[in-house]
Each structure stands twice: as structure tokens, then as C-alpha cells.
Amino acid sequence: MFKKRFFALVLAAGMLVLPFAAGCGETEQPEVQQPSGPSEPAGPSKPEEPQPQQPAQPSEEKKVYTLTLAERYLLAAEGEGQTQTLDAELKCNGTVCEGEITYSLSDNIVARAADGKLTAQSEGKTTLTASYTPASGETVTDTADVYVLGETSAEKVNAFETDGVNLLGRTYFKSTRLQLDNVCTGFEVAFYGTELTLKLRSTTSMFVVFLDGSTEGIPLPTERKKSIKLAEKLDLGVHTVRAVKAASPMVADQKNCIEIESDNPLSTDGRFLKPPAKSDLKIEFIGDSITEAYGATGKSGEGKHTLENSLATASYAYLTAQNLNADYSIVALNGICVKDGSTNMYDKYLKNGFHTSGEYDFSSFEADVVVLALGENDMWHATSTQFPNYNSELFQKDYADMLRLIREKRPNAHIVCIYGMMPASSTAQTKQIITAAIADTGDENITQIQMISNAAGAASHPNAQAHIKTATTLTEHIRSLLS
């Protein structure tokens, strides 16, 4: 069940008696004989009178309370609409009920909670806690993030400066135009108003738009349009829009890149605010078509890769970042191997994108965790007669080289190797190769997980449920590494 979100205007029968056993702390009592007397003459026996049935006493149902806040509240540091009504939902055994709920904030300088209202005071982030104590039982609580957003200018937003826009993933600029080439690249902006418009140049591509912190995105095809509404007809107030490119760098063997215009590409009918601060936790994902969510949003039997059946925000990678509230970077391409082929990850990992020769600045995203998810195509090449010049020995060497390259660029990161999400890499041989490659590096900060194989999505790739399961496993593993 997803939490409802709230946002504010600017400044969001009988007893059986058993004899005791001798030797168990009790003395066995001798049987008592009743005295005998004259017997009564025999006569017809009287039928037993039926005993009235006692109605069963209903057991009192235990009351279980739950309390639910919105996941995130947005307010502004100054201006109209500084106050938000607090209305946490209280339930008893799953039914909405009434009760006295109290509220508190971890930082009362950023905002204050009083008289059932949340009021912005200064720019920053704080944690709101709602509590309810029943007449009998333990106190239940829930928490939510509260962001008080400061003002920014349209000029900073349209220059994609850090206090105007959150850039997502490996974005880069071509001349002055922002390029969304890699999967799940995009941006997040905040504004006070009712709509947000974007000017762009694009092949037929796809955005997924996340509004006001929701984790349920809305697909939005670009359809070669020059301008699109990322959000419209909203209630007047503070909003955030996260626009994520959900298409692979290559779709139907065609280059797929979204260019954002340089001349005031973002506009609103209100005014812009600074976006919520990005997470300090940073995760980099390196993979192939699985990491792109190729076929994940389609059905078994669909043979072709399309924009609609392969929304990258359904991938285990994006879901893991969501689960951990992490900043992320995803470098993935369908069909790619570690080193085999003219287009390979060993080379492309060093570039800004798949359609540029520009060198990537690794200091721009200092990853805490790197997830390496390659091997499906490599194992196919290593075991198929279609690729006579490649074998398992070469794959092991290539994989070890890729790990060394990652360690060179990410000296302090946890490296997590995952494999087995499709049949070719779910074999014992794959596990042996990857285990040996890790050993070859001598690197003690590398772990590995074999995931569950699945080909129930479109184009015989993992379906959405498989990605969710993989994300759950990976999320738990990363948490254990960071704890």
C-alpha cells in the first residue's frame, strides 16, 4: 500500500482434573472407599434431563493500531503557503479511527509543528514524527522527511546549476545542450505553481515522470516533440518533478538520446525553488540489457524490444536506488560484453555515454557501492559456436580486468558482482568463472550474489516481478555492507 502524500503551498466448559503422577512433587493419595448401605429397590431408570446450553462467550478482539504519515512534506522557506495541515492517518485493526496524535520535529529551526499544523521557518531538512498512545498498549509512531525549500532563479535552473536542478545519472553536455544518453539519466526540479514545461530535441524516446516524491512513475513518450508538459493541472503549491529517461541508448538498433534545449528549456507558471538535497549514498550500476530492464514491463511472448515494454525505471538497478534512497548512476547497454566486441563495457565505462567520445570524470560521482552485472552475453559468447574466438578462459580474464579497472576508478567502493538473472549466466560454470576472477584480483572488498534466473518478460528477459525480487536481495546485501 502506498502512502498518500500531502504537500503545502510555498514558503508540505468444564475443567478436566487429572491425577498427579507419583514422584512429581506430590504424594499419591490412597483410593477412598465409600461405606456400603442398604440398596434401593431396582426401578426404571429416569431419563436424564437435558442441560441448557450455555452461549459461547465471544473473545475480545485485540486492538492493533497503525499510524501513517505522508512520505515527504514540502514547504518553502518564505512566501505564501508556509503552513501545512498535519493529518496523519490512524487505523485500528485496519479501519480508520480517531485518536489524539502528537507531532514533533527533529529540528525546530527548520520547521515547527503546533496546533495540528506544520510551518516552515528556514531552509533545510528535518524529520517529522507522529505518535499515538492507546489507552492500553504500546505507542505507535511514523516518521516523514520535511523539506523546506529555498528560492532559486529560473536562470540557475536553466543553466542546470547544482542549486537549481538535481542532475541524475551520467548526464553530459554537447555544446550547451544537456544530453540524456545513458539509461535513467534525467533531472529533478522544484517549483511553486501548477505546471512544468520542457523544451527538447529527441528521437522517439520515453520519460518516466515522478511527481512530488512518488515512487510510482508516469510514462511520457517524447514522440519527437519540441515541447512537452512534464506536469500540468496540479493544485497550486510546492511540487517536485523528477524526469527520468526510461529508454536504452539503443532502441531497435537506433541511437536513442534526448537533448535538452539550451535556451530556457524549463518553465513554470509560478516560480522555481531549490530541489531537495540529493542523498549522500551513491551507487553505480554497470550492466547489460537486464540492467536496462529490457522486456521487464512487457509480457512473455512479446518478441521485440519496445519503449513501452522496457521501461528502465522497472529495473532492479533503479528499484535498488529507490529502496535505499540513494543517488545513482547506471551504465548499461543491451548485448554488451565485458571486452568482447567492438562496443564493450571496458571501453564505454570510461566515456560519458554510448554516443560520445568524451571522457567521464569519475570525481563527479564518488560511488560508495559499485554493482557489476555483466556475464550473460559473455557466457553466451564463451559457450556458443557462433563465437569461435571467445571462450570461458578469456571471459575470466576479461572479468578480472574489469574489476581491476573499477577498483582503479573507485578505490574505496564496495564492489558487488551479481549474475544469474537469465539462463546463460545461471550455470555453475558462470559461478566458477566469476569466483576465480575475483580471486585473481586479490581484492578483499568484492562480494558476489547469484540471483534467480527468469525469462518471463518480453523478449525472453526477466519480468518486472523478477526485477523486484533482485532489487530486494541486492538492497539487503548493500545494507549489510554499509552497516
CATH number at residue 306: 3.40.50.1110
The tally of domains found in the chain comes to 3
How many angstroms separate the Cα of 180 from the Cα of each of 62, 203, 220, 370? 54, 11, 15, 21
Residues 141 and 158 in one domain: no
Residues 430 and 296 in one domain: yes
Question: What is the predicted pLDDT for the residue at 221?
Answer: 95
> Would residue 20 count as lying in a domain?
no
> Would residue 261 count as lying in a domain?
yes
Q: Alpha helix locations (H) across 181-250?
A: none
* Residue 164 belongs to domain with CATH number: 2.60.120.260
Residues 289 and 402 in one domain: yes
Question: What is the predicted pLDDT for the residue at 57?
Answer: 58
Checking DSSP bridges between strand 166-168 and strand 172-174, what pairing results, if any?
Answer: unpaired
How far apart are alpha carbons 401 and 337 in whole angstroms?
Answer: 13
Question: What is the predicted pLDDT for the residue at 54?
Answer: 62
Laid out side by side, the sheet with 327-332 consists of 327-332, 282-287, 369-373, 414-419, 446-450
Question: What is the predicted pLDDT for the residue at 283?
Answer: 98
How far apart are alpha carbons 296 and 311 in whole angstroms?
Answer: 7
> Would residue 384 count as lying in a domain?
yes
Convert the pLDDT of each residue in 362-418 to its tens digit: 999 999 999 999 999 999 999 999 999 999 999 999 999 999 999 999 999 999 999
How many angstroms separate the Cα of 58 from the Cα of each of 62, 95, 137? 12, 20, 21
Question: What is the predicted pLDDT for the residue at 3?
Answer: 40
Read off φ and ψ for residue 469, nearest 5 degrees. -65, -40
Q: Shortest CA distance to 183 belongs to which of 283, 315, 4?
A: 315
> Would residue 53 count as lying in a domain?
no
Q: Which of 277, 296, 319 is the last residue of a domain?
A: 277
Q: Shortest CA distance to 340 belongs to which of 288, 293, 284, 285?
A: 288
Q: Which of 262, 277, 292 is the last residue of a domain?
A: 277
* Residue 77 belongs to domain with CATH number: 2.60.40.1080
Residues 130 and 142 in one domain: yes
Residues 342 and 195 in one domain: no
| Contacts (Cβ under 8 Å, ≥6 apart) of 178 | 160, 167, 171, 172, 187, 259, 260, 262, 265
Containing structural domain, residue 393 = 279-483
Residues 114 and 164 in one domain: no
Q: Which of 149, 181, 203 is the last residue of a domain?
A: 149
Residues 288 and 403 in one domain: yes
> Would residue 155 count as lying in a domain?
yes
How far apart are alpha carbons 356 and 447 in whole angstroms?
Answer: 32
Residues 125 and 268 in one domain: no
How far apart are alpha carbons 288 and 286 in whole angstroms?
Answer: 7
> Would residue 1 count as lying in a domain?
no
Q: Are 384 and 378 in contact (CB under 8 A)?
A: no
Residues 173 and 127 in one domain: no
Q: Is 478 helix (H, G, I), strand (E, B) or coil?
A: helix
Residues 296 and 413 in one domain: yes
How far apart are alpha carbons 128 and 114 in whole angstroms?
Answer: 12
Q: Is 483 helix (H, G, I), strand (E, B) or coil?
A: coil
Convert the pLDDT of each residue in 68-80 to its tens digit: 999 889 999 875 5
Residues 114 and 191 in one domain: no
Residues 157 and 204 in one domain: yes
User: Residue 274: left if φ>0, alpha if ψ -120 to 50, beta else—which one?
Assistant: beta
Number of H helices and number of E strands within the chain? 7, 29
Q: Shortest CA distance to 292 belongs to which of 353, 251, 241, 349?
A: 251
Q: Shortest CA distance to 68 belongs to which of 116, 123, 132?
A: 132
69 is written with which cell numbers? 504519515
> Would residue 215 count as lying in a domain?
yes
> Would residue 161 count as lying in a domain?
yes
**Mean pLDDT per 10-residue segment, the chain (483 residues):** 37 34 36 40 51 60 90 81 86 94 94 92 94 91 95 97 97 95 98 97 92 95 92 95 97 91 96 96 98 97 93 98 97 98 97 96 98 98 96 98 98 98 97 98 98 97 98 98 96
